[in-house]
C-alpha cells in the first residue's frame, strides 16, 4: 500500500531517471514543501541510512522526524528504502499547542502545496506572467481506515501531472481533501479555480449543489453524472456510455461497403431502453438499411442457422448488439464467433463495456474483429506514455493503472486550459480539444449548465491478436 507521504515527491520535480540508488553519503535534500504552514525537506530514504544519521545531517531530533511522519509508523516499522520523509527545516517547537482552529468538514491532505512556495523556500523568485492555478481535489482516500486504492492511484497520476506542469512554468496551488465519511462544504470550493472530484454520483451531486457561482465540479470517474449537466455546474470528464454506443453505430455505418450487411441483434421479448434504445435511435435516424435478428437466450443454441441465413454472401456482415444483459451479449458474441469459424467475414461494433464482461473471452473479440468505441485506451508505443510509465515506476515503485493515467490526463488537460484562458477556461472547452495518455477531451455546447466530454477512442481487436487504435 502506498503511503501518503510518498506522493508528495511528485510536486517536487525530482529527476525521474534516478531509479537505482547507489549507497550514498547523506546530504540535505534540495526539495522542499510546505505542509500546514510548516516548511519541510523531502528526503528519500536510501540503503544503509538510519534515523539517527538522517537527524544529525538535518540538525533535528529523531522525535521531530517521528512527529512529522506519523502516517509512516516509523517508531514501530522503521525506515524503508524509497520512503519519502518530511524533515522540518528547523527543529519543531515543543510548546503547548494553541487552541485549534475550527475544522471544515473533510480532512485536508497536504494543503496549500504549490511550486511557487517551493521556489520561494529555495530563494528563487516566482517568474512573472505565470498564472497561479488553485486546484481543489476531493477524493475519498479513507485515511482513517483501509486506504481507497482507486483514489490514491488517481491522485498519484494527478500529482505527476502537477509536477510536469510545474516544470513547464505553470504554478499549481493544490488543496486536497479526504471526503470519506465527511460532508463537503463550500469553503473547500470557493477559492478554487478548478475542482477535481468527487468521484461518486452522490458526492458529485452534493458538491454541485453548493458549488459557488462561476465554479464547476469536474466529475472525473463516474459516467452516471452526465445526467447532472443540464441543471448543475458539472463537467462530465469520462465520455458517457450513451456517447460510446452512438459512435459504435456511426462507425458501423461508415464502414459499410457494397455487398455488406448490417444486423442489429436484440433479445426477444425485452423492451429497448437505455443504451439499446440509443443504438436503435441512431440507426433509424441514419437511414441506413439494416435487418434485425431477435431471439431469446433459451434459443441461443438453435439460432445459428438464422445467423447463416442473414449473413452477407458477398461482403462483410457487421453486427450491433442492442442489449444490456451480459448473458445475452455473451451468447451473441458466441454465435458471431461461430460465423467467423465458418470463414464468414464478420465485424462486431459496440461500446467499451463489451470488453469488461468476464464471461466474454478476449480470444472471441479478436476472432470477430471487434470494434470498440471507448473512453479509455492506452497506446504504449507513444513516447509520452512510455515517459509517464517510467516516471511513475521511479516514484512509486509500481505500474500505473487506468486510474493513474486518468488522474494525469484530467489534471493536465483542465489545468492547461486554466493556464491558457484564466477564468474563461470553461467557455473555451468546446473549441479546445485535448489528447491525453489514455483519454481524449472534446466538449460540445449543451443547453444545460455544465458540459459533457464526447471524445471517443476507436479500438480494434484484430484476428492476429493485436489491439490497435484507429
Q: Domain map of the chain by residue range?
A: 4-88, 106-239+380-453, 242-374
For 172-204, b/e burial (b = at least 16 CB within 10 A) is bbbbbbbbbebebeeebbeebbbbbbbbbeebb
pLDDT surpassing 60 at residue 299: yes
Give per-residue pLDDT as tens, 186-224.
888 988 999 998 999 999 999 999 999 889 999 999 888
> Which one has a higher pLDDT value, 15 or 248?
248
Is residue 305 over pLDDT 70?
Answer: yes
Maximum average pLDDT range among 32-41, 149-158, 251-260: 251-260
Residues 407-429: pLDDT tens digits?
A: 999 999 999 999 998 888 999 99
DSSP string, 331-394: HHHHHHHHHHHTT--EEEEEEGGGGT-TTS-HHHHHHTT-EEEES----TTSHHHHHHHHHHHH
106-239+380-453 CATH: 3.40.50.2300
Among 127-131, 276-280, 315-319, the least confident range: 127-131
Assigned fold of 4-88 = Membrane-bound Lytic Murein Transglycosylase D; Chain A (3.10.350)
Query: How does residue 3 score in pLDDT terms, banded at 50, 70 and 90?
Result: very low
In angstroms, the CA 163 to CA 10 distance is 6
Domain 242-374 grouped into CATH 3.40.50: yes
**Nine-digit cell string for 467:** 489491439
The phi-psi region of residue 303 (left if phi > 0; otherwise alpha if psi is between -120 and 50; otherwise beta) is alpha
Instruction: For 99, list phi and psi in degrees, rounded to 5.
Output: -60, 135
ω into 190 cis (within 30 of 0): no
pLDDT at position 111 is 35
Same fold, 106-239+380-453 and 242-374: yes
Torsion angle defined by CA atoms of residues 196, 395, 25 and 73, in that order, rounded to the nearest 10 degrees: 70
On the question of pLDDT at 116 being above 70, the answer is no
Chain-centroid distance, C-alpha 289: 38
Q: Is the pTM of this model over 0.95?
A: no
What whole-number distance in Å separates Cα of residue 65 and Cα of residue 7? Answer: 18
Q: Which triple of cell numbers denotes residue 387?
A: 515517459
Contact between 316 and 347 (Cβ < 8 Å): yes
Amino acid at each position: 500500500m502506498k503511503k501518503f507521504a510518498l506522493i508528495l515527491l511528485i510536486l517536487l520535480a525530482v529527476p525521474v531517471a534516478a531509479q537505482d540508488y547507489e549507497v550514498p553519503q547523506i546530504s540535505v535534500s534540495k526539495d522542499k514543501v510546505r505542509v500546514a504552514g510548516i516548511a519541510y525537506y523531502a528526503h528519500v530514504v536510501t540503503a544503509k541510512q538510519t534515523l539517527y544519521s538522517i537527524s544529525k545531517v538535518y540538525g533535528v531530533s529523531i522525535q521531530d522526524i517521528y512527529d512529522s511522519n506519523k502516517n509512516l509508523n516509523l517508531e514501530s516499522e522503521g525506515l524503508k528504502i524509497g520512503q519519502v520523509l518530511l524533515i522540518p527545516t528547523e527543529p519543531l517547537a515543543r510548546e503547548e499547542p494553541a487552541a485549534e482552529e475550527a475544522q471544515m468538514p473533510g480532512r485536508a491532505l497536504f494543503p496549500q502545496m504549490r511550486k511557487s512556495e517551493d521556489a520561494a523556500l529555495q530563494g528563487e523568485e516566482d517568474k512573472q506572467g505565470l498564472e497561479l492555478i488553485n486546484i481543489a481535489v476531493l477524493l475519498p482516500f479513507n485515511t482513517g481506515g483501509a486506504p481507497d486504492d482507486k483514489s490514491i492511484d488517481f491522485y498519484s497520476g494527478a500529482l505527476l501531472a502537477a509536477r510536469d506542469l510545474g516544470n513547464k512554468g505553470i504554478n499549481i496551488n493544490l488543496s486536497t481533501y479526504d471526503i470519506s465519511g465527511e460532508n463537503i462544504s463550500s469553503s473547500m470550493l470557493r477559492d478554487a479555480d478548478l475542482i477535481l472530484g468527487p468521484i461518486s454520483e452522490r458526492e458529485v451531486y452534493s458538491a454541485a449543489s453548493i458549488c459557488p457561482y462561476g465554479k464547476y465540479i469536474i466529475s472525473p470517474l463516474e459516467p452516471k453524472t452526465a445526467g447532472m449537466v443540464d441543471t448543475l455546474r458539472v463537467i462530465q470528464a469520462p465520455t458517457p456510455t450513451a456517447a460510446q454506443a452512438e459512435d459504435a453505430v456511426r462507425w458501423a455505418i461508415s464502414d459499410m461497403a457494397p455487398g455488406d450487411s448490417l444486423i442489429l441483434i436484440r433479445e426477444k421479448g425485452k423492451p429497448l431502453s437505455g443504451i439499446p434504445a440509443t443504438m436503435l435511435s441512431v440507426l433509424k435516424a441514419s437511414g441506413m438499411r439494416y435487418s434485425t435478428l431477435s431471439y431469446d437466450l433459451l434459443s441461443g443454441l438453435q439460432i445459428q442457422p438464422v445467423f447463416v441465413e442473414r449473413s452477407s454472401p458477398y461482403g462483410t456482415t457487421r453486427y450491433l448488439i442492442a442489449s444490456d444483459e451480459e448473458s445475452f451479449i455473451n451468447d451473441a458474441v458466441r454465435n458471431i464467433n461461430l460465423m467467423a469459424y465458418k470463414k464468414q467475414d464478420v465485424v462486431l461494433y459496440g461500446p467499451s463495456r463489451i470488453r469488461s464482461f468476464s464471461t466474454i473471452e478476449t480470444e472471441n473479440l479478436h476472432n470477430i474483429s471487434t470494434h470498440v468505441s471507448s473512453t479509455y485506451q492506452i497506446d504504449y508505443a507513444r513516447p509520452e506514455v512510455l515517459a509517464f510509465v517510467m516516471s511513475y515506476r521511479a516514484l512509486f515503485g509500481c505500474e500505473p493503472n487506468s486510474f493513474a493515467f486518468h488522474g494525469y490526463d484530467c489534471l493536465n488537460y483542465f489545468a492547461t486550459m486554466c493556464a491558457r484562458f484564466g477564468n474563461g477556461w470553461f467557455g473555451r472547452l468546446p473549441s479546445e480539444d485535448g489528447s491525453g495518455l489514455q483519454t481524449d477531451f472534446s466538449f460540445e455546447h449543451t443547453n444545460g449548465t455544465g458540459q459533457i466530454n464526447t471524445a471517443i477512442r476507436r479500438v480494434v481487436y484484430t484476428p492476429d491478436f493485436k489491439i490497435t487504435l484507429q
